[in-house]
Amino acid sequence: MKKTLVTALTTALVVGAASTTFAAANPFTDVPADHWAYDAVAQLAKDGVITGYGDGTYKGQKQITRYEMAVMVARAMANNNGVNVSGNDKALLDKLAAEFGDELNNLGVRVANLEKNADKVKWNGEARYTYTSKRTENLAGVKNKANADEMLLRLEPSAEVNSNWHVKARLDGRTDLNKDADTKKDGDVKLQRIWAQGDYKNFQVKLGKFGVATNYDNSLMLNDQASGAAVTVGNKLKATVFAGRIDLADDSTLDSAGLVAGWTDKLDANYHKDSAANLQSVALTYKTGNLSGTAAYYNATSDALKTDAYAKSGKEDTFGAWEVAGSYKLGKDVALGGAYIKNEKADYYNKAGMVQLDYKGAQKANKGTWGAYVAYRHIGKYAVLDANQDDAQLNSKGWAVGGNYTLFKNTVANVKYFNGEDLNTKKDVSKLFGRVEFFF
């Protein structure tokens, strides 16, 4: 498999050297167009990061060895090509370096020199503008409109401790454009996440405050961070166990009202007494070929839940929900996904689910790429902790459509629209969501 991959990479490099740009047709004969190596090599060759041998050629059709490829990667890492490698190119180069890690290590002094000069701290981030407009109607027929304009600056540093461990963080600075306020809260930079991460073969551990469900494909649960520890083991089949604490009242965006806020006035009052909850989760994820799936269980306990609006007894303090989610690629550009959740502890609005059809998708490194989706969602407000989607309104059901487009390299625009009904009032609700992201 590795020999086939190297041959495929060589073919791509030869094609790239023969012309100033890559042809529209796929130059890889042995690698599927959706393989990460296609985008990596094509983009790096286009940007002049990888240029071949010392004289800038690839020796015609000469078969390249893994050692020779490692030399090219090492030269690019050392910036011998005279190109300032940063941002997305740096990330792609790092992936190639990981593929040829053994050969790079065998280069000895040259690799040692590269490591000596390499930056130990890497910075990624984004600036983004988000607009949302919600339409609702109460039981009396009174219509309401709520708009939100937000600018966000996100910085994500990653510091290398050793070959296995890194310390990572996320810092967010937000401002409400509707108010254009100059208050202590508005515009302040907040440390949202910080954690230590150890990566080993078929094993990963995270310690600190981090995103809980980052790798759960199509999950509707926990678009937020929690403090604690997580351990993941496995390869195609992975098991992840988390234990820690989560802030139920965390308002991570101007368009949301926290994980529990907004359920009822009683719950609003309760969680202000102690908004932190104990949280445990266990998940099994499986990925192979065109299929990926997740089965998970989430358990959270907090006195904030003790109301008759959540459970008939008024004494239930536990959130206990199981979830199944997954996706299947129907073709090169089309994927079908879905999810279902039920909170066994709540008596009302305790179910959530969705089915979604995706076509292509914008690639931030490639101008002009785009994607679109159509989905049906049912989001019971007591079924989820911070629903992992931003089109449907909480406690509603209905249809959503959306699309994204790469305006320029590392600049992506998103637009989404939801139309449905409130699960409680049975009145119409709708939401318009727009976002432009600038990655760096």
State pLDDT tens for residues 151-195. 999 999 999 898 899 999 999 998 887 766 544 455 678 899 999
Predicted confidence at residue 219, as pLDDT, reads 87
Model's pTM, two decimal places? 0.70
Residues 6+ apart with CB under 8 A from 412: 362, 364, 404, 405, 406, 436, 437, 439
> 298 or 250, which is more confident?
298
Question: Residue 37 corresponds to which amino acid?
Answer: A
Q: Identify which has the larger pLDDT, 51 or 141.
A: 141
Kindly list the structural domains of the chain, giving each domain's residue range(s) and its CATH number in brackets, ordered by start. 2-117 (no CATH), 122-439 (2.40.160.10)
- Here the tokens at position 424 are 């409680």
User: Which of 259, 234, 236 lies closest to 321, judged by CA?
Assistant: 259
Residue 304 predicted with pLDDT over 90: no
Residue 285 amino acid letter = T
List phi, psi (to 5°) of 110. Answer: -60, -45
CA–CA distance, 263 with 218 (Å, rounded to integer)? 24
Instruction: Mark 311-323 as b/e (b = at least 16 C-beta within 10 Å).
Output: beeeebebbbbeb
The per-residue pLDDT of the chain, averaged, comes to 78
Q: Mind listing the pLDDT tens digit for each residue in 404-414?
A: 999 999 999 99
Tell me the pLDDT tens digit for each residue of 51-90.
654 444 433 334 445 566 666 677 777 665 555 666 667 7
Q: What is the pLDDT of residue 78?
A: 67
Q: Are 321 and 344 spatial neighbours (Cβ–Cβ below 8 Å)?
A: yes
- For the ranges 25-34, 119-128, 262-271, 345-354, the lowest mean pLDDT is seen at 25-34
Pick from 378, 424, 384: nearest CA to 397: 378
The amino acid that residue 409 corresponds to is K
CA dihedral 104, 107, 108, 111 (to 10 degrees): -50
Stretch among 17-31, 117-131, 140-154, 252-266 having the lowest mean pLDDT: 17-31
d(Cα 422, Cα 395) in Å, to the nearest integer?
6
Structure tokens at 190: 């907040």
Give the pair of three-digit tokens for residue 154: 């996100």
> What pLDDT, on the 0 to 100 scale, is given for residue 185?
55
Q: How far apart are the first and last CA of the chain?
A: 33
Record the tokens describing residue 149, joined without a space: 């304009």
For residue 412, what are its two tokens?
């992506």
